[in-house]
Chains A and B, each alone.
Chain A
Amino acid sequence: DTGVSQNPRHKITKRGQNVTFRCDPISEHNRLYWYRQTLGQGPEFLTYFQNEAQLEKSRLLSDRFSAERPKGSFSTLEIQRTEQGDSAMYLCASSHSSGTQYFGPGTRLTVL
């Protein structure tokens, strides 16, 4: 396994623009999670997929956020009409069934 990969690693955007992040989980991991981490805080759960089905979304995930996992492989997280408060590290993790969650390196988003 090559580990969880995330792209891009860094994204700088202007307020009001849309951004999309990609996560490639460890192959054959059926569970995929998105978390958000702000400076000096622990990661906070955003959403969870089991295969292609999005089974839980946090109240942190406003209507401007949408996530997909087509075919149960890679996942994308899109933020529409970005706000300065969206600036954070967006982390993806994957696991096999209820096993250990392995995290990717994250995408650092800066909204100007």
Chain B
Amino acid sequence: QQQVKQSPQSLIVQKGGISIINCAYENTAFDYFPWYQQFPGKGPALLIAIRPDVSEKKEGRFTISFNKSAKQFSLHIMDSQPGDSATYFCAASGGATNKLIFGTGTLLAVQP
């Protein structure tokens, strides 16, 4: 019940295209759903996050879509750029400690 399932494992997108990464969770106690971007040799950096009281959040080229009834959420990267090439992790948290439960990651490659 603590798992967060993420797909696809890897993704290749052409420059200017849309990258879509999906996640699903089981624990209904989760109330915070962030996406992190990680470059090789670096720590994860927060990209965008959403709480379940809204169905969509947009920040620049990045959008989270959230479906509470399906217990799914997704990251859309519009106008993907080569500099977006990185590993993306979805995560979920809830409860007193707010510890993050991460998905297994998606390696995104944006081809010029």
Contact = CB atoms under 8 A, between A and B. Distances in A.
B44 A45 contact: no
Given A55-B97, A56-B99, A98-B98, A41 B104 contact: yes
A86 to B, nearest CB: 19
A65 B45 CA distance: 26
A103 B44 CA distance: 6
Contacts of A103: 36, 43-45
A102 B99 contact: no
Contacts of B34: 100-101
B45 A43 contact: no
Contacts of B41: 105, 108
Contacts, number: 56
A10 to B, nearest CB: 10
Contacts of B49: 100
A3 B105 CA distance: 24
A45 B97 CA distance: 11
Contact of B105 (A33, A40, A45, A98): A40
Interface residues of A, number: 25
Contacts of A85: none
A45 B101 contact: yes
Given A4-B43, A45-B99, A102-B46, 17 more contacts: A41-B104, A42-B6, A42-B89, A42-B103, A42-B105, A43-B44, A43-B100, A44-B102, A45-B100, A55-B96, A55-B97, A91-B44, A100-B49, A101-B34, A101-B100, A103-B44, A106-B42
List 9 A-B pairs, minimum CB-CB distance, nearest first. Answer: A42-B102, A103-B43, A45-B99, A48-B97, A105-B43, A98-B98, A103-B44, A42-B89, A56-B97
23 contacts: A31-B98, A33-B99, A42-B6, A42-B91, A42-B102, A42-B105, A43-B44, A43-B89, A43-B100, A43-B102, A45-B100, A45-B101, A48-B97, A55-B97, A56-B97, A93-B100, A95-B98, A98-B32, A100-B46, A100-B49, A101-B46, A103-B43, A105-B43
